[in-house]
């Protein structure tokens, strides 16, 4: 072989080697590109995983075990001619026998027995009235067992006009001509008007992404935002349809802004579920604003087990109202730092301590995720025990009485007579979030009055904000719902504040010798003793370690000339019951709750215990409660029901704010509640009998009261001295400081009640 051939072979060998290197380099480059691509697509993959077709949620499988064939029913058309049309979107037949249709909370139709809708069938239900008779109409449906199935807000309808689905594929809704029991007639259809802007789909929970169309007159322009901020003419000009999709993932904004501090290394969630907020304005040729609308869209999370069977409240407000450094109501902000730099106690100063109100839009979705309420309101941070924590409560005030137009929406059960709605955490039980709900469930069907606590999920500017409670405010609305007292002036008492009517009753009860039968009989004309016995027994059996009877919520009709409960006698309502049922070592089943200072130092309870008839009645009633209301097996069933509803949502809420909460840990803690009811009866009945035999101890009660008052005065003096000393070193006497709420001691009196 010649030298030339050898060199040629050598060159060939080198060429093959080079080729291998090139191929490997290409492969590695491809892998690198793929890694980058997958990393960038992470949030999109999380969002897509929430879609219905994937049949999973971000954390766990969709709760299809709780789904029924009714989930595949949809309201396809509602007509002014007094009918509503259903569409079976499933691949199976659906038996709708006994289905009830309610309009404004009243039944307007019931489906006959034996009615079965086949696959893709349309079925029209004739109603007793026009479902679009008012400006806002809440139409709901229940199955034969009373379980909610569907909910929809129906706009004003006249003549033969229908409102319904224009296109299922494009998810468009609007007005159209009637097409009873067949595919909708969409010729000449028009979109729904929201604040002067026509939209192709109202806000709500939807299964799939879609394109949202906005419409206005030819000489007008639309500007919009999708982050919750208020739109201006500097915002995005609307020129084409807006893609509505799931925004869940790690690119959340407001969950981070709510706790932002560069010096902090506190926990932040890996991802946050999020919807999409569309806010828009329209302006005429002269630049004048002629329309404004806000709608929230939540895609692919309708059947997420974190929200299943729970109502949802969506708050839409300009993010600056919440998180702005100087004016945001949710953050510590400038108020905290101004205090810190001047040497004041920073824990007493923060933006969220102020009673500042901010304009917002409130949307309410029933447990089926159908919207039944949307209204503008003012919001402020609720000053309770969690005001300084990551998850804060809200007070929502509806200034415009048009909120009452949404008759039939469940939210109306919780709005006070003066237009206030209260969203709170779960106080001491903010991990399990179960005790107040469980206590209300145990009291259901009895005469025991318990403040209503409705679990709900909150979304704040589209971002998931955890599991909350809609807390009933005890007023005339509550009294009407619980006791049927209507058209009467109601007087209420709460906390350690005394109105003159309650003070007169209290002074008689605590300063009169109730061992004298005539005095005790007269007291019965001032208070419902049976109610008070139930009230105290209920709290004591549950082991309420913060119970103080006289500081509880109480009510009466202003006059005694009514019938039934409108007899002018004071009755008591159980408030927060989170300090109960084995929450900690202070609420064990063996604990003698009568020994806690709130009970021993309660002059009202101790005065009543001076009467032997009261003691006998109290002892007997506790025995009855132990066997009737607090039967261990019945309570265990109620615990299981509460767990089924709240376990996943509570764990998701904990993960949102604090970290992982394992299934095993939740199960362990809830098993303690069951153990409580298994063991409580043996001990509390013994303690109650001992108390009834002993009677009241007014001397000790007055000593405890005097000591508590003395301690409170000393604490006030110390705090005043501290504030005066701090005041010499600073000057915060400006208008903004004058608005401040000082500190946590200025809580709403109702939150100091644990009765």
> Going by C-beta distance under 8 Å and a sequence separation of 6 or more, which residues neighbour residue 504?
none
Which pTM was predicted? 0.86
- Structure tokens, 595: 């020994």
Q: What value does the mean pLDDT take over residues 20-29?
A: 66
Question: For residue 742, is pLDDT > 90?
Answer: no
Counting every residue, how long is the chain?
755
CA distance 463 to 252: 8
267-299: pLDDT as tens digits: 899 999 999 999 999 999 999 999 999 999 999
**pLDDT attached to residue 550:** 82
* Residue 144 main-chain phi, psi, to 5 deg: -65, -20
User: What pLDDT sits at residue 18?
Assistant: 65
What does the alpha-carbon distance between residue 508 and residue 602 come to, in Å, rounded to a whole number? 15
> Given the structure tokens 């499988």, which residue do they identify?
61
pLDDT tens per residue, range 519-574: 999 999 999 999 999 999 999 999 999 998 888 899 999 999 888 999 999 999 99
Quick one: which H or E segment has residue 684?
helix 663-694
Positive or negative, the Cα torsion across 426, 428, 429, 430?
A: positive
- Residue 26: what pLDDT? 66
Task: Give me the pLDDT at residue 401, please.
Answer: 85
- Can you tell me the mean pLDDT for 455-468? 97
Burial (CB count within 10 angstroms: exposed 0-12, middle 13-18, buried 19+), residue 520: buried
Give the DSSP H or E segment for 375. strand 371-382
* pLDDT value of position 74: 94
Is 133 strand, coil or helix?
A: coil
Strands 312-316 and 162-167: unpaired
Q: Residue 361 has what pLDDT? A: 97
Q: Are 246 and 48 in contact (CB under 8 A)?
A: yes
Q: What are the domain boundaries of the chain?
A: 488-718
pLDDT average, residue stretch 6-35:
58
752 has a pLDDT exceeding 60: no
Query: Mean pLDDT for the chain?
Result: 87
For the record, the structure tokens of 516 come out as: 């004298």
| Predicted pLDDT at 65 | 28
pLDDT greater than 90 at residue 595: yes
Concatenated DSSP letters for 275-287?
A: -EEEEEEEE-TTS
Given a cut of 50, whether residue 714 has pLDDT beyond it is: yes
Q: Region 22-33: what's the mean pLDDT?
A: 65
Measure Cα distances from 559 to 317, 436, 567 in Å: 43, 32, 7
Span 321-334, mean pLDDT? 95
677-700 residue pLDDT tens = 999 999 999 999 999 999 999 999
At what angle are helices 529-541 and 612-628 packed, to 10 degrees? 50
For range 11-15, the mean pLDDT: 50
- State pLDDT tens for residues 634-686: 999 999 999 999 999 999 999 999 999 899 999 999 999 999 999 999 999 99
Pairing of strands 453-460, 312-316: parallel
d(CA 161, CA 645): 40
């Amino acid at each position: 072989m010649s030298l030339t051939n050898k060199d040629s072979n050598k060159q060939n060998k080198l060429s093959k080697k080079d080729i291998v290197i090139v191929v490997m380099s290409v492969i590695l480059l491809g892998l690198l590109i793929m890694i980058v691509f997958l990393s960038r697509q992470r949030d999109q993959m999380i969002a897509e995983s929430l879609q219905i077709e994937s049949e999973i949620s971000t954390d766990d499988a969709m709760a299809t075990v709780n789904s029924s064939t009714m989930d595949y029913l949809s309201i396809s058309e509602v007509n002014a001619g007094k009918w509503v049309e259903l569409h079976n979107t499933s691949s199976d037949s659906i038996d709708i026998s006994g289905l009830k249709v309610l309009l404004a909370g009243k039944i307007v139709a019931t489906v006959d027995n034996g009615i079965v809708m086949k696959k893709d069938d349309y079925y029209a239900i004739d109603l007793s009235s026009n479902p679009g008779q008012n400006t806002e109409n809440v139409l709901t449906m229940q199955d034969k067992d009373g379980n909610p199935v569907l909910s929809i807000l129906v706009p004003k309808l006249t003549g033969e006009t229908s409102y319904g689905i224009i296109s299922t594929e494009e998810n468009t809704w609007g007005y159209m001509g009637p097409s009873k029991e067949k595919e909708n007639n969409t010729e000449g259809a028009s979109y729904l008007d929201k604040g002067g802007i026509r939209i192709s789909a109202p806000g709500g929970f939807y299964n799939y992404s879609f394109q949202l169309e906005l419409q206005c007159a030819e000489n007008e322009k639309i500007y919009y935002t999708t982050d919750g901020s208020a739109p201006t003419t500097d915002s995005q000009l609307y020129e084409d349809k807006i893609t509505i999709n799931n925004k869940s993932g790690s690119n959340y904004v407001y969950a981070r802004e709510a706790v932002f501090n560069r010096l902090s290394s506190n926990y932040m969630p890996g991802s946050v579920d999020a919807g999409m907020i569309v806010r828009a304005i329209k302006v005429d040729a002269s630049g004048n604003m002629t329309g404004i609308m806000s709608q929230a869209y939540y895609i692919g999370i309708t059947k997420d087990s974190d929200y299943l069977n729970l109502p949802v409240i969506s708050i839409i407000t300009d993010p600056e109202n919440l998180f702005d450094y100087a004016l945001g109501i949710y953050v510590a902000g400038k108020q905290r730092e101004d205090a810190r730099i001047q040497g004041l106690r920073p824990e007493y100063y923060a933006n969220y301590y102020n009673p500042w109100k901010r304009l917002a839009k409130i949307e309410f979705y029933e447990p089926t995720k159908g919207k039944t309420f949307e209204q503008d309101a003012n919001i402020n941070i609720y000053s309770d025990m969690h005001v300084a924590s990551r998850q804060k409560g809200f007070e929502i005030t509806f200034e415009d009485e048009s909120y009452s137009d949404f008759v039939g929406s469940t939210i109306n059960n919780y709005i006070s007579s003066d237009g206030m709605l209260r969203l709170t955490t779960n106080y001491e039980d903010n991990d399990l979030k179960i005790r107040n709900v469980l206590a209300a469930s145990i009291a259901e069907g009895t005469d025991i009055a318990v403040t209503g606590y409705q679990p709900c999920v909150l979304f704040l500017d589209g971002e998931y904000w955890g599991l909350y409670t809609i807390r009933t405010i005890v007023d005339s609305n509550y009294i009407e719902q619980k006791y049927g007292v209507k058209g009467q002036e109601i007087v209420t008492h709460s906390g350690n504040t005394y109105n003159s009517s309650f003070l007169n009753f209290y002074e008689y009860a605590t300063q009169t010798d109730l061992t004298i039968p005539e005095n005790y009989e007269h007291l019965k004309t001032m208070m419902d003793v049976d109610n008070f016995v139930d009230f105290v027994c209920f709290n004591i059996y549950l082991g309420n370690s913060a119970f103080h009877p006289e500081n509880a919520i109480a009510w009466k009709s202003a006059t005694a000339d009514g019938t039934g409960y409108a007899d002018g006698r004071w009755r008591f309502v159980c408030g927060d019951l989170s300090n109960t049922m084995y929450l900690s070592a202070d609420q064990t089943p063996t604990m003698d709750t009568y020994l806690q200072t709130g009970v021993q130092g309660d002059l009202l309870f101790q005065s009543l215990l001076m009467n032997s008839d009261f003691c006998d009645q109290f002892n007997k009633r506790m025995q009855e409660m132990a066997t009737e209301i607090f039967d261990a097996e019945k309570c265990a069933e109620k615990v299981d029901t509460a767990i089924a509803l709240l376990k996943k949502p509570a764990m998701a809420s904990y993960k949102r704010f604090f970290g992982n909460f394992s299934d095993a840990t939740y199960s362990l803690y809830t098993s303690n509640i069951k153990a409580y009811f298994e063991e409580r009866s043996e001990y509390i009945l013994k303690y109650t009998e001992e108390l009834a035999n002993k009677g009241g101890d007014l001397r000790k009660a007055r000593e405890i009261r005097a000591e508590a008052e003395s301690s409170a005065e000393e604490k006030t003096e110390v705090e005043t001295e501290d504030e005066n000393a701090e005041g010499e070193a600073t000057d915060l006497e400006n208008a903004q400081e004058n608005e401040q709420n000082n500190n946590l001691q200025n809580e709403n009196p109702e939150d100091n009640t644990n009765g």
